[in-house]
Amino acid sequence: MRQQQPSAAEKSVTKQPLTQQSLYQIKITAEKSLGRAILVILENSYPEPLSVSHFEDVDKSWLATAIYDSPIELDILRHLIDTNLDIESQGYQLDQLPIKDIDWVAHVQSELKPVIAGRFFIHGSHDREKAKGQPSAIEIDAAQAFGTAHHGTTEGCLTAIDKLASTGLSPTNILDLGTGSGILAIAASMVWPEAKILASDIDPIAIEIAITNIELNNQSTIRTRCADGVDDEVINAAAPYDLLIANILAKPLIELAPVIEPLLKSEGTLLLSGILETQAEDVITAYCQQGLTHQITDHFDEWVTILFTKAQ
């Protein structure tokens, strides 16, 4: 799940082990109407935050804190928020301060519980015992690339994959665009083991993490690709796809509509998420203008998952 990213020159942060290290906290105070959209950008910004928490303050403003293992360039984060939401910086305030060392892995694991989404049981390595006997268990540890099913967008996509499989859909060529942790590609491989699946992401760190998770979950037939969007030779060479999954953000999804549609096979299925309820109509309009047919919109918290099909 990726939005506009900083240039390669800006991607100079080196990841360190997450145990007993200096951590940094970003604090964002925003208008309530901007809160949810800023939250998903925080969760997908580069470098990945180790944790994001948020709540509505007493004065009805929205407050979020994000924890990172390296100092963050506030100008880059501010640029990501402004360009993805088409807003000016006066609608929110950014602050950064160091926090004391903690055993972050232990902290995250104590907070995150398994998630059930359709047939899938999503768990961290600390909950392997609970996953025993679950036929569609997926192990994904937190503090990695986006996608642990604790967010409504990922949960929505997993639920949609479960429903599509239950209806008898049997895609043979699948693209997971913006794969993040690889969780959706892994889920698709579990329900359609004979399908060819390509998982792509703009972020090389996400691809490394996805490869680790794919191997960990014994779905090693999934191919991965670090690609700057869909204008990529490997993505295009494998097209057309009869199922394309893109859990990104509304603005880039709208911009990508003219180039995503040609990647779909006739009678193909398109699954989109990373979309706030308030943004759903704009996304639906963008893809219907490309000739796709809107099938259903499912709601998860304040987020939606939208399904389209392409005519024969």
- What is the pTM assigned to this prediction? 0.69
Q: Supply the pLDDT for residue 20.
A: 45
Q: Supply the pLDDT for residue 239.
A: 96
pLDDT in tens, the chain (312 residues): 443 333 222 222 223 334 445 678 888 888 777 777 787 788 777 777 777 777 665 555 777 788 887 888 888 888 888 887 776 656 788 888 776 665 555 555 555 677 888 899 988 887 788 888 888 999 987 644 445 545 678 889 999 999 999 999 999 999 999 998 899 999 999 999 999 999 999 988 889 989 999 999 999 899 999 998 898 999 999 999 999 999 988 999 999 999 999 999 999 999 999 898 989 999 999 999 999 999 999 998 788 999 999 998
Q: How many residues does the chain have?
A: 312
CA distance 225 to 211: 10
CA distance 126 to 134: 15
Which domains, ranges and CATH numbers included, belong to the chain?
20-102 (3.30.70.100), 111-310 (3.40.50.150)
Q: Supply the pLDDT for residue 78.
A: 84
Q: What is the torsion angle, in degrees rounded to the nearest 10, for the CA atoms of residue 49, residue 301, residue 38 and residue 34?
A: -160
Q: If residue 182 lies in a helix (H) or strand (E), which one and from where to where?
A: none
